[in-house]
Amino acid sequence: MTCCEGWTSCNGFSLLVLLLLGIILNAIPLIVNLVDEGQFLQNPISCFEWWFPGIIGAGLMAVPATTMSLAARKRACCNNRMGMLLSSLLNVFTVIGAVYCMLVSLQALLEGPLICNSQVNSTSSCEFSFRNLSDIHPESFNLQWFFRESCLDPLEVMDPTVSGVTAGDGRHHGLHFDSEENKHRTIHLTVFLSLLLVAIFQLLFGLSQMAVGLLGCLCGVTKRRSRVV
């Protein structure tokens, strides 16, 4: 097995693991809503999960390249120059999907969960566009909605019906999952930070396979045995 074949096989298994993680992570907020509220088409935590950064971006768009990378191994039907070239070209979709997943996850982390934007508690507060992405700068990426004692507005803090918030001094009883706000903030941060990491690794593996696939196409691969014992 040549270095190109070995690295292609490694990339294939790595991309398979990452795409499965992306799909699972994207489904977590949807499953939590189904379990807690018995409703599926609602937005209890966020609405950026409905842009499907993990299911489409890190998931489905990586399937063709993952399949070809796993097939383009020693003794496999795609173990030839054309198979290596296809594994390289198909990773263009992987890279595009990873970038999409990264951008959606970044904007979701900046906006925070819906409970932190309850005055505009609708899908309009989760609008994903390149115009919104242009507002991203290092100073804005501070996750204040997570590290503040409460991300709710002062007017909402005075409302005693808001779970986990006192009406007197507007302070949390503590960072625990008994508070609906804290649960939503923790799930939101965990899901989209994990999706961001998945997308970064997927981008790296996709770019490496593009280079290795081209190298395997130019230099060739090992000849398959005419007879398999």
pLDDT tens for residues 126-165?
666 666 655 555 555 667 777 777 776 555 444 444 444 4
Contact (CB, 8 A) for 46 and 188: yes
**Angle (CA) 93 78 23, round 5°:** 35
Predicted local confidence at residue 203, as pLDDT: 97
Number of H helices, E strands in the chain: 7, 0
pLDDT in tens, 91-119: 999 999 999 999 999 988 988 888 887 55
pLDDT in tens, 61-102: 999 999 988 887 655 556 677 878 888 899 999 999 999 999
Whether 7 shows a pLDDT value over 60: the answer reads: yes
**How far is CA 40 from each of CA 34, 43, 80, 89, rounded to the nearest angstrom?**
5, 8, 46, 37
Distance CA 170, CA 179 (A): 14
Taking the model in full, what pTM does it have?
0.78
Predicted local confidence at residue 135, as pLDDT: 59
Distance CA 229, CA 216 (A): 26
Q: Which of 10, 108, 12, 9 is nearest to 54 (CA)?
A: 108
159 C-beta neighbours (distance < 10 Å), count: 11
